[in-house]
Amino acid sequence: MTDLFVFSEELAWTSAMLLAWLAGEFVHRWTRLPRISVYGLVGFLLAQATPDLLVPDGSSQVTLLANIAFGLILFEFGYRINLRWLRVNPWIAISGLAESALTFGAVYAIAAWQGMPPLTALLLASLAMSSSPAGVLRVINEERSSGQVTERVLHLVAINCVLALFVFKVVVGFWVFQTSGSLTQAVSHSLIELLASAVLGAVAGMLTPALLRGLGTLARDGTVAFAMVVILLVSITQAADLSPMLATLTFGLMARHRRVTFTRTQRNFGAIGELLTVLLFVFAVCTLDWQRVVAGASLGLLLLMVRFATKTVAVAAFAHVSGISWRKGALIGVALSPMSVFAILLLEQTRYMGIVLVDELAALAAMTLFMEVLGPIITQRALVLARETAKEEG
């Protein structure tokens, strides 16, 4: 019976990915809506129809594959970040810090006003700071978008995700301290964890290009090597209870600044990257339960509106001093809407520590579902209004 259940589970995931991919292709061709919005919607509906088969276990192979998929996206995302640009125009970084802080404060205030316990409100506020690198990068690549708005969106997403990860880990550390009474254990699950993850990614980012140059295969085998190192980083960080997100993001950032060429034809890591992307967005919504979504819908919608307003206003406020118009600043803030995959995988990682936080954050479940479907569409519309998407041929 166990073997039959395992077979049924694997068949269910394969079928769900195929249905999500087919639906995404058809809807995109008919409406030009982002494929990933359809992946999420189909995945959620299938998960509710077959809850015993599509609800992922924290130690399952599906979870590992989802983390690898996100790691590949984060590597590519980190590769797109230009730290020199932030030094030349520090107002971009300042606007990122401002919008993240304003979003955190506004969401925490609303959550506390609604009677949410302080630590739970802090966790929710830290996750609300983030935007989904997977959602934003996928839409940018799909639309072949380029320009000031596109590049600033990428850099602001990187800034608020790093800040969200840092604040989330610190809050989880206090959570551990509150339950265990061990300050050492609390610290080990926050600052030390982040530092070790960043160092691991930086070392990989220095050694991999050097190895490829030594072999003389940088142009031919670079993509394969980067993908293999991402898989290795995800496996090591999961086994060591570190952060695969920070490790793979740092790896991509370091690889860029080691002057490694990552050509346009290598975006999304080819067909395997496309396949894993479908799995990632189906996986993200399969962790959600319909009853939890309904329970947190009203607060979730309120928090989403607050989050949307704070990000838009904060970025627009720094638009002129950073060298762009208020209109483009507002469009950048609007494009920061996606948040689902990053938040879900971050919560899933806390299960390794024996902390189950999903049940405490019903509002986050509602926010995640709404932004899984609507976030990429909002980002796409913002990029279209900024006139930075490629025109369709024919």
For residue 336, the SS3 value is coil
Determine contact, residues 385/333, Cβ cutoff 8 Å.
Answer: no
Domains of the chain in start order, with CATH, are 1-386 (1.20.1530.20)
Give pLDDT < 50 ranges for the chain.
1-5, 7, 264-265, 392-394
DSSP assignment of 88-138 equals H-HHHHHHHHHHHHHHHHHHHHHHHHTT--HHHHHHHHHHHH---HHHHHH
Provide the residue count of the chain. Answer: 394
* pLDDT score at 99: 94
| Contacts of the segment 25-33: beta carbons below 8 A, 24+ positions apart | 33/377, 33/380
* pLDDT score at 94: 94
Determine contact, residues 368/285, Cβ cutoff 8 Å.
Answer: yes
- For 250, other C-beta atoms within 10 Å of its C-beta total 25
* pLDDT score at 280: 92
Q: Residues 91-121: pLDDT tens digits? A: 999 999 999 999 999 999 999 998 888 888 9
Using CA atoms of 339, 343, 345, 351 in order, give the dihedral in degrees to the nearest 10.
-170
Closest CA to 238 of 343, 133, 353: 353
pTM higher than 0.75 = yes
The whole-angstrom separation of Cα 220 and Cα 263 is 11
* pLDDT score at 103: 95
- Residues in Cβ contact with 233 at an 8 Å cutoff, skipping those fewer than 6 apart: 71, 200, 201, 204, 244, 247, 248, 251
